[in-house]
């Protein structure tokens, strides 16, 4: 009778690294084309049955374990690696062309990506365009991470009384027992999405009660709007707007998209809107 085969840990690690690498490729591609977090979280965007957050979790864990498996792979193959390196060093004291070229190539990729030099800039821009293509008026939240707001906080955001919002939700089939319940929790309770809940109550006229300035946050992503558009839509002159922003430490050298100006100032687009007093 043949003896039981001994579990080969080295083989297991090699196979796991191969499978893990394949999963990392798939999750990486999906995250490359996935919408921005505010869109994904508000509408529960998914691909292949998993939400963006779930894909992020999978990518993170598999990458983490891939690194650990890589360490074990080096440990189990330490002697062959040392022998190979020592033999190479004895036979050839100079660095191989392949090693030099790989180092130079890696440096070029790093520098090209950092400064967004073509074709690296094209790859980054393409990913951003695909990401932005998911945005539309139906899945844009009133503000980033609006799903994390409590019922009372959300009522304040859309500028109506909390009781009015609760009654409105109740009329549309969403029973709210506690106003500290978040929009996300309410959506999970009724197996729907925050965007569907908001679309339902908004269709019933909640937005009519909103302050005209606060309603600026509705619709498509304001981060994509040019600063001049924001000024024009809110009857703010260019000079007046620039002075307001400067008072809040936001430097604007030329007209550009809010998210680009925000990026240059290391802030978020909503902070520009706040500086202009459009959410008060």
Structural domains of the chain, count: 3
Kindly state whether residues 262 and 186 are assigned to the same domain: no
Instruction: Please report, for residues 166, 191, 192, 235, 262, the alpha-carbon distance to residue 138 in angstroms, rounded to integers and kept in the order given.
Output: 22, 18, 14, 26, 24
* Helix, strand, coil fractions of the chain, as percent rounded to 5: 65, 5, 30
Q: What one-character DSSP code corresponds to residue 50?
A: E
Kindly state whether residues 14 and 60 are assigned to the same domain: yes
Model confidence at 123: pLDDT above 50: yes
Confidence grade of residue 95 (pLDDT, cut at 50, 70, 90): low
Could you give the 3-state DSSP secondary structure of residue 212?
coil
CB 216 within 8 A of CB 273: yes
Residue 139 covered by a domain: no
Kindly state whether residues 151 and 123 are assigned to the same domain: no
Kindly state whether residues 55 and 169 are assigned to the same domain: no
Kindly state whether residues 117 and 170 are assigned to the same domain: no
Positive or negative, the CA dihedral 256, 258, 261, 264 is negative
Kindly state whether residues 173 and 115 are assigned to the same domain: no
Residue 84 covered by a domain: no
Kindly state whether residues 24 and 108 are assigned to the same domain: yes
Kindly state whether residues 21 and 126 are assigned to the same domain: yes
Residue 157 covered by a domain: yes
Kindly state whether residues 156 and 262 are assigned to the same domain: no
Domain of 247 in residue numbering reads as: 221-275
At 192-209, the pLDDT tens digits run 999 888 888 766 555 444
Both ends of the chain: CA-CA distance in Å? 81
Kindly state whether residues 195 and 233 are assigned to the same domain: no
Crossing angle of the two packed helices 194-203 and 162-171, in degrees rounded to 10: 100
At 152-198, the pLDDT tens digits run 888 877 778 888 888 888 888 898 888 889 999 999 999 999 988 88
- Global model pTM greater than 0.85: no
Say how far apart CA 102 and CA 97 lie, in whole Å: 8
Kindly state whether residues 127 and 49 are assigned to the same domain: yes
């Amino acid at each position: 009778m043949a003896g039981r085969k001994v579990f080969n840990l080295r083989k297991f690690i090699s196979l796991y690294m191969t499978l893990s690498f394949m999963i990392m490729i798939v999750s990486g591609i999906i995250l490359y084309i996935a919408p921005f977090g505010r869109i994904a979280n508000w509408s529960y965007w998914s691909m292949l049955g998993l939400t963006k957050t779930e894909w992020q979790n999978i990518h993170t864990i598999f990458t983490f374990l891939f690194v650990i498996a890589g360490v074990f792979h080096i440990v189990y193959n330490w002697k062959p690696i040392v022998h190979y390196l020592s033999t190479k060093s004895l036979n050839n004291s100079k660095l191989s062309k392949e090693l030099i070229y790989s180092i130079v190539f890696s440096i070029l990729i790093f520098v090209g990506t950092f400064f967004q030099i073509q074709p690296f800039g094209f790859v980054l821009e393409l990913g951003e365009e695909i990401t932005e293509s998911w945005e539309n008026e139906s899945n844009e939240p009133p503000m980033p991470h609006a799903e994390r707001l409590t019922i009372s906080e959300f009522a304040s955001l859309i500028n109506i009384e909390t009781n009015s919002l609760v009654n409105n939700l109740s009329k549309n089939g969403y029973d709210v027992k506690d106003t500290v319940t978040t929009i996300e929790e309410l959506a999970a309770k009724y197996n729907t999405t925050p965007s569907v809940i908001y679309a339902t109550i908004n269709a019933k006229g909640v937005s009519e009660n909103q302050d005209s300035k606060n309603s600026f946050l509705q619709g498509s992503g304001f981060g994509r709007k040019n600063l001049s558009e924001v000024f024009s839509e809110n009857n703010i002159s260019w000079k007046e707007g620039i002075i307001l922003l400067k008072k809040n430490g936001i430097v604007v050298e030329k007209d550009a998209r809010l998210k680009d100006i925000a990026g240059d100032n290391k802030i978020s687009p909503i902070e520009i809107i706040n500086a202009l007093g459009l959410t008060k």
